[in-house]
Amino acid sequence: MTCLNSRITDIHCSKLVDPETAANRILQLAQNNRINIGTSGFGSVGYPKMIPPVLAQLASENNVKVRILTGASAYAMDAHYASHNVLERRYPYQNNPLLRKQIDNGIVHFMDYHLGEWPYMVEHGWLDKTVGKLQVAHVEASLVMEEGFVPTGSVGAVPAWVQQADYVVIEVNTDVSPSIHGIHDIYRPVPGEPIPLKRVEDRIGEPIVRVPQEKILAIVESKGIDHGGTPVEPGKVEKQIAENLLEFFQEEISRGRLPRNLYPLESGVGTVNDAVFKALAGAGLKGLRAWTEVVQDSLLDLYYQGVMTALSCTSLMLSPKNLENFYAETRGRENIVLRPQDVTNNWELIRRLRVIAVNTAVEIDIYGNVNSTHILGRRIINGIGGSGDYSRAAHMSIFITPSTRKNGKISSIVPMVTHVDTPDHDVDIVVTEHGVCDLRGLSPREKAKVIIERCADPDYRDLLWKYYRLALENKGGHIPHLLDRGYSFHIALEEHGDMRKASI
């Protein structure tokens, strides 16, 4: 016997309840009016959908504060908890406008952290002072078996949360095709032991997340198809960035510094990155592989076109059409693998596989430091995600960005970034629509000249040259800076709405 149209094996059928019953069971575990929950979800995929709105309402009515740990963002789930004003702490990445406001206003405590290290950090008690014991792992699944469950379109930190939590609550999403079974490779890194993986397509774990039967507190039926945003056709700027990067790859191949099929590629999330990888389709490259956090449409299209031969990720963030096709066509996807984030973002593997990391910056200063998380150094955007994991350990660390935004009012190349996520030490290549800056082997003074001349927008080059020369003449130093004018671009933006009005 099975229940829920064969999605749950008979031994667990008695645990199938409605969302309100499940939410009340979770709430009963609260201690000192606080509940600690680790949830599934990475990007817009795999987060719990049915219980959060009910639990948020009950927590608000009973004056219970909720602390949420995820793998990364959890879209609608965050919206429910934020709208009921019950979140006390949220780690380590988010993507919700209301939650951002609460974080910026100090209502919700948020710590941005490298996603590859995040499960390890929790497992080793580094959050004991602020969070304490993880009481519940709240996860989404496509199937529940006697010995465990099959996740949906992402894995993230789910295996770690299931291992650490006192109880597990499972939402079985019957809208997710059971054909996803077999694509996951669940492996937990063992401290001090090498991860036995040598190729992108290697499978070293199991297709399910194991969980002791006695840990399962409740099972709820869920509905809803996850997907990434609607594909956006790349514009002129994005296409030029892609062309510049591809020309750089070809030059590296011709000089013997890269193989003809490159090394495994990592793609950060976003339309600029998506445009770059779409351009690979016409570049004549073959036998490419991706070792990355998130697979977007561009990577999956390259796989089905035969340009990519293997894809490894922790989340499938696909458009509705591509997701439907993926579920329907199971042939030929043997080399697509979904893994936990502490495997996909593991520094040892990124270095071993010689990954080429391609990430997007919000702003880059003339010495190569990158800000990808904060506006004007104060307001959080989403979080660092995995860019720090990849850029630090990568064979080659590349950051791409349009040179300007907001119709030229904001320059992405600035004298000093207002927040440093990735230091210049971990930035090898910078690419804008104007050119490629190869920073390898350059001193800070050499980097400044290359970045200003090749990557900055012409409208800002004179201002940047003026800043650099004044800093050189007045203060000098290994990294010439003027402390009173380093943020002149940002001050002009705040006061005049246009960085071109900066006073140097």
Catalytically active residues, by annotation: 293
Chain Cα centroid distance, residue 441: 29
Under a CB-based contact definition with an 8 Å cutoff, are residues 55 and 298 in contact? no
- At residue 342, φ and ψ (nearest 5 deg) are -80, 5
Separation of alpha carbons 474 and 494, rounded Å? 26
For the four alpha carbons of 442, 447, 450 and 455, in that order, the dihedral sign comes to positive
Under a CB-based contact definition with an 8 Å cutoff, are residues 251 and 289 in contact? no
Three-class SS state of 262: coil
Helix axes 271-279, 297-304, angle to 10 degrees: 20
Task: Work out the number of other CB atoms within 10 angstroms of the CB of residue 178.
Answer: 14
Enter the tokens of residue 61: 């009515």
Q: Which are the contacts of 484, defined by CB distance < 8 A and separation ≥ 6?
A: none
Please report, as a single letter, which amino acid is at residue 67. Answer: R
* CA-to-CA dists, residue 14 to 27, 52, 151, 201, angstroms: 20, 22, 21, 38
Secondary-structure percent of the chain, ordered helix, strand, coil, rounded to 5: 35, 25, 45
Helix axes 458-474, 444-454, angle to 10 degrees: 160
Enter the tokens of residue 9: 């094996």
Chain Cα centroid distance, residue 482: 34
Three-class SS state of 351: helix
> What is the rounded radius of gyration, in angstroms, for the C-alpha atoms of the chain?
23
Enter the tokens of residue 345: 């973002």
